[in-house]
Each structure stands twice: as C-alpha cells, then as structure tokens.
Structure 1
C-alpha cells in the first residue's frame, strides 16, 4: 500500500495563518455590529459644583512667554490648553479640569502616551499623555472614556491628571505625539 505524501511545514503554517485571519475578521465584523458605548446623557444638576466647569469662550491669544513653534500651552491660572502649530496659529483651545498636583511653569515634552487605563481616582480614562512629574506624581493630559468631568478630589489625595472633554482629548491625542513641547505658564 502506498504511503500518503506529507504536507510541508510551510503549507501547515500558511493554512493556520489564513484560518486565524478569517476568524479575527469574523469577530471584528460581529463586534462592529454590537452596541457601542456613548457618553452619558445625564443632565447637569443645578447645584453649584466644587469643580470649575470648562467653558466654550476662548481667550483671543496664546499667553505671553509660552515659547515659539509647534507646542501645547497649558495655563495653570486660566485652566486652559492651546494647541499651537508651527506657524504660531492656534489650532484649538479649551478649558480643562486640573488635578490636585500641578507642574511648575516651564517647558516639558510629552514623554509617553497610553491609549487607555484607569485613573488614580478610579475613572476609566483614555488619551493619556505624560509630560511632567511633581511631588512624586505623574502629570498627564487625559479624558474620561464616558465623557464625564472629574468629581472633586478626595481630601489629601494627590492626582496629576489634567482632564478635558472627550472631543478635546481626541484632538489633543492626535496633535500631541511623543516629543511634542508642552509649555506650562502661570
């Protein structure tokens, strides 16, 4: 009786790879048809909040002393961020909710980025861009995945997250790559 021919190892590897790609494609299509998370539709309360609320009004110009060239400018006093391009044009500006720990004024760079994690306050966050450390706390820009604003910090808690609205976080994530200058001003 004749012995059947064996398939070469490259044929097995190719077959398994094609099968895995097909399985991942089927799962991706199924996931795309499922429910997608959305921001909370809860109405803001009429009570006074202990946290400042970002506003839509924007100062006309970038603060003096923030440097030149393509950069992110973060004003501690105005609780505002500007995205400035190489031609000195402001591409976007928005208000933020700072944590309890702020960096000293100066020039920093985005040292690392993390797409998503849980913040030190237990909130799911995304678009995390680390640029400074102060008092042993990392300072980073981020936004809450569900679009919420952060609650007031617990007494004695140290948080270095500079939170923003979801749309602003997405825009800053696209603008602020590793090595981008972050100018912190008073």
Structure 2
C-alpha cells in the first residue's frame, strides 16, 4: 500500500475511534447509573420526594399554636408539658417556635420577666453555654434558656438541681435577639 493510502486509512481509523468515543460518552452521560443505584441502601440514601402533580406547592406543617392561656402582647411562652417555646411579637404574631430540653428544676406556671442575660458562661452542669436568658429562681436554682456551645442537648442528671432550659444554637440566637431585659416570660403547664 502506498504511503498516502496508509495515511488516509490511519486518519479515517482515528476519526472513527474518536466518533465512537464521543457517542459512547454521550450515551453514558444520559443513562442512569444502575450500578450506583443498586449499591445504595436505606442507610445511605435519601428518599426522593415525588413531584406534586397538581402543580400546587407543598405546604410546610403548621406551627404549633400558642397556648390559649398564655396572655397577650409581646412575650416568651414556655410550655412545660409540650417542652416548647414561642416567641410572640406584636399583633400576637409568632416569630419563632421550637422545642427545648427542660432542666431538672422547672419554674411553676406564672408570669415572669427576663432578669439577666449573659453572652457566654459555664452552665451549672459544667458545659459551656451561650445566649443565656434568665427569668426565674426556684429555691436557690436560677432558671433560664441557653444553648450549649457544642450544640448538645444532653439529658440532665436527675440527681443534680439545674435550671438550664436548653435550645439549639440557632434557637438560642433567636431567643437572645428577642428577649431583652424585662421581656415578659409566661410559663404554662
């Protein structure tokens, strides 16, 4: 075969290999990864939401309603039974609601006021805490909302008298911004 023919055959072969490679790449990119899907299990995959075929947006669940016997006006409402807090602003609008981890000593139901605040201290359980909002004293135990700096919400040791009502760090920041000195705190059952 002459040299010119050999060069043409090589060029055509190279072009064919490139074309097959491109087509193979495109096919692989658009095909589902069945091997990866087969390896996923319920511990490592997140269930996919099915699209809402009605065209309506999915609604988030309604927040827990403010307890009816919690007063009026701007206030913090703390439900002992529900282990939940509501930050209620003007016109009875709930700015935020969240669950908390109660302390071993709880304040009796009633109306209190934020008496002191600390940006960061060590809690009575020895854990570094932030955004401390104190509002009551029961015996010699000070009661207040706080967030652990490490984000934990451990179950309090029942043999110790502690007054820290623990919330998440995000909730603690929201409480700190809302609960200025003198803000009303209503504790309900």
Among 65, 72, 76, which residue is 2:80 paired with?
76
Asked if structure 2 preserves the Cα contact closer than 8 Å seen for 1:106 and 1:183, the reply is yes
The structure with the largest alpha-carbon Rg is 2
In the other structure, the counterpart of 2:172 is: 169
* Aligned position for 1:138: 142
Residue of structure 2 equivalent to 1:180: 183
Q: What 5-or-longer segments of structure 1 have no aligned partner?
A: 1-55
Q: Is 2:120 aligned against 1:116?
A: yes
Q: Distance in 1 between matches of 2:113 and 2:61?
A: 27
Specify which structure has the higher proportion of helix.
2
- Summarize the Cα distance change of 1:90–1:119 in structure 2 as closer, same or farther, 3 Å threshold: same
TM-score, length basis structure 2? 0.66
Q: Residue 159 of structure 1: which of 146, 162, 178 is its match?
A: 162
What is the rounded CA distance, in whole Å, between the counterparts of 1:156 and 1:57 in structure 2? 38
1: distance between equivalents of 2:158 and 2:84?
Answer: 24
* Equivalent residues of 1:58, 1:93 under 8 A apart: no
* Cα displacement string for residues 83-131 of structure 1 (whole angstroms, at most 9, x for unaligned residues): 0002101010000001000000000000010110000111000000110
SS of corresponding position for 2:174:
helix
CA contact (8 A) 1:58 1:94 kept: no
Q: Structure 2 unaligned segments of length 5 or more: list them.
A: 1-59
Count of aligned pairs: 130
Runs (4 or more) in structure 1 with deviation over 4 Å come to 56-59
